Structure 1
Amino acid sequence: MTAEIALTDDIATCHALRRAVFIEEQGVSEADELDELDDIALHLLAMAEAEPVGTARIVIADGVAKIGRVCVVKAHRGTGLGAALVRMAMDVSRGKAAKAKLGAQVQAIAFYEALGFTAFGPVYDDAGIDHRDMVCDL
Structure 2
Amino acid sequence: MITPQMKDKVLSYIVKQELPRFMIRLDDLSVQLDIKPDYISLIIEQFKKMGLCEINETRGIGFPPTAFIITLTANAYDANRNGGFVFQEEIMKANLLKLDMELNQLSNESSGVIWDRVQKIMSIVNLISSTFPFINR
Which structure has more strand as a fraction of its residues? 1
Same fold by TM-score greater than 0.5: no
- Does 1 or 2 have the higher relative contact order (CA < 8 Å, sep 6+)? 2
Which one has a bigger Cα radius of gyration?
Answer: 2
Which TM-score applies when normalising by structure 1?
A: 0.29
Which structure has more helix as a fraction of its residues? 2
